Amino acid sequence: MGALERYISDPRYVVHFADYIGTMSIGDEYFVDSHQPERDMVSLQTFGLGFDDKRNPYVVVYLRYLAGLSDEHQKYWHSYLASGDVRISEPYFRSSIYGEYWRNRSVRNAIVEEMRLIRALTNAIWGRSLFRNSIGGDVPIGLTSFLRPTAENFNRFVMALDKLLSEGIDSKFFEGKVPLETETLRPDGKIIVQNKGTLTLLEEWLLAEIVWEDPAAFREIVIRPLRKIRRLRQTPAHTFTLDSFSEEYHKKRKQLLSDVFNSLSNIRATFSKHPLAHHVQIPDWLDGGRIDVF
């Protein structure tokens, strides 16, 4: 994955990410800039995901596209050539060779879809969306699989996921439903008023609005993954940390994505049973087990 990071960190290049596929090219303004070295006027029509036997992700590029790079950039890419048995992912193969859209969806796609459905369901039931409208377009760089398993990239992933989730919750949704503030009496008799965090508001509201068969299980399955993301982001947000490389970051990322999807899926499934939400259609693929976690 290190081959891509040169272009991700260089503002001259435009790198687009989807779930299994991406593109890279020099930006238009730099392409026409006579001061830019000709060797850097490069692009890749597409690149895609591949996996080794442990399901660790790799960048896969067709030789035809690499042949179009300058000699300097070809040597750079060659320095990252994998030595093990890496196979092209089926979705990238089918889309790039047969022109077919992939049947399976990624867990990232599923998380975004769950949030869209929760917005639709809460609007239908309570007249206001729980989540703010998401910004469309590419997968944010921090959430993509096209990054090396390093501490810095894992922190980038956590920050991006937290922005999507806890920072994406609209606190105005809870107005009139649960208290938005806490009041604490100081020893000198003065009262400190503090706004509650969005995850605290979500937990209190869900417990007040819905009768859960097992509140402890609800907290473990629905709330704990969201709080874990919030807690993990505190370190990169407030502390300088040393970078490190480990394949364990692949596993940690996959586990967090799986837990977050499970949390949102439970919220959406609960809301979808409401009589005012019968018209909100749930895609078959979302509950059909066709979701890839990588």
CB 67 within 8 A of CB 77: no
Per-residue confidence (pLDDT) for residue 188, from 0 to 100 = 84
Q: What is the pTM for the complete model shown?
A: 0.87
Q: Which residues, including other chains, have CB under 8 Å from residue 104's CB and lie 6 or more apart?
A: 90, 91, 290, 291, 292
Count, residues in the chain? 294
Mean pLDDT split into 10-residue runs, the chain, 294 residues: 92 90 94 92 95 91 97 97 92 90 80 94 96 72 85 92 90 94 84 90 94 92 95 81 89 94 95 94 84 83
Per-residue confidence (pLDDT) for residue 135, from 0 to 100 = 59
Count of CB atoms within 10 A of residue 233's CB? 20
What is the spatial distance between Cα 255 and Cα 142, in angstroms, rounded to a whole number?
16
Question: Which letter does DSSP use for residue 174 in this model?
Answer: G
Question: Which letter does DSSP use for residue 144 in this model?
Answer: S
Three-state secondary structure readout of 222-267: HHHHHHHHHHHHHHHHHCCCCCCECCHHHHHHHHHHHHHHHHHHHH
